[in-house]
Amino acid sequence: MDFLLLLAGIAGLWLGTELTVGGALAIARRHQLSEFFVGLVILSIGSDLPEIAVAVDTGIKGLMGNDVSGVVVGTSIGSVVAQIGFVLGFAGMISFLTLPRAFVVRHGSVLLGATVLLFLMAMDGKITRIEGLALISGYVAYVMALMNGETVPEEEPGQLAGGGIKSWVLLLIGLGAVTWSSEITVTSVVNIAYSFDISEALISVLIIGLGTSLPELSISISAIMKKKTHMSVGNIIGSNILDTLLPLGIAASISLVSVERQFIQFDLPFILVLTLVVLGFFYARPGVAKREALVILSLYFGYVTVKLMQF
């Protein structure tokens, strides 16, 4: 029963995110935001609502004396690995992905810096409220810097349709669905872990992490089909920056987050290596083609294999 509730929770997170992203995109088009900015900020925040909702629910449970830190840490790390490993690798198998070097340097350095910052804060096995607020501040500063540098493109009138009352209604319904589904997801994971004596963190990394990355996969494929590869890659990079800083920052600002030793010794270093490989492909080569995509996917499935051996 708990496993069915977990699937229902993940499905609800996906559906709620689809509604939210649809509304947010319509509003963004009305305000004439650029393709890369929409992918990097609007889509990444919208598609990462599941992780944010899980973080809030985990933090509240911590305040009530039920420490489920493994859920939020596992979800965040699992999402980061799934997005830059599976989603980007899969997208690279479908289409040739490119990014200007200036974008790779600017946003890639932020992603690497965020990963290193999280690693340093987690080294003592916990993330405190002050450290959580610092992670949130880092993300807010990044988004503000992006907004200050955003230029308004020239658009055809027809492209500015939408963004009215209907879009805001979809946005609110989506947010409500995500909030409700996050409670079901976290509760079912805790019950499954208790029943089978499995680490909550492990379930979160392998199941919730991949499940909550479905919005990014859907958005990336849709963007590629519309010949908007910059939006696809921007969404993935923006999502990884957000997942590295915001969910754990939110959870820790509510209550103390404990970080298991395995995350510090294996998962976070792996994320750093995988990120360097991906950014290296975008910087040193024309982009990510099928050959590079196969390398990325191989690293991802190698990671999953190692995690499965921990059962």
CATH number of the CATH domain containing 251: 1.20.1420.30
Q: What sign does the dihedral 219-53-250-79 (CA atoms) show?
A: negative
Cα(94)–Cα(87) distance, integer angstroms: 11
Q: Say yes or no to pLDDT of 152 above 60.
A: no
User: Under DSSP, is residue 31 helix (H, G, I), strand (E, B) or coil?
Assistant: coil
pLDDT above 70 as % of the chain: 79
In a domain, 212, yes or no: yes
Query: Is 2 a domain residue?
Result: no
* Most trustworthy range by pLDDT among 75-84, 170-179, 191-200: 75-84
pLDDT tens per residue, range 101-147: 888 888 899 999 999 999 999 999 999 999 999 999 999 998 888 77
Residue 170 belongs to some domain of the structure: no
Answer for the pair 175, 45: CB distance below 8 angstroms, yes or no.
no
More confident residue, 68 or 13: 68
Res. 244: pLDDT tops 90: yes
Report yes or no on 136 lying in a domain: yes
In a domain, 158, yes or no: no
pLDDT score of 131: 96
Residues near 58 by beta carbon (within 8 Å), at least 6 away in sequence: 68, 69, 71, 72, 186, 251, 257
Of 123, 86, 97, nearest to 39 (Cα)? Answer: 97
Residue 35 has pLDDT above 80, yes or no: no
pTM of the model: 0.79
Could you read off the pLDDT of 223-243 as tens digits, one per residue? Answer: 677 677 776 787 788 889 988
**In the prediction, which pLDDT does 235 show?**
74
Question: Does residue 12 belong to any structural domain of this protein?
Answer: no
Residue 255 belongs to some domain of the structure = yes
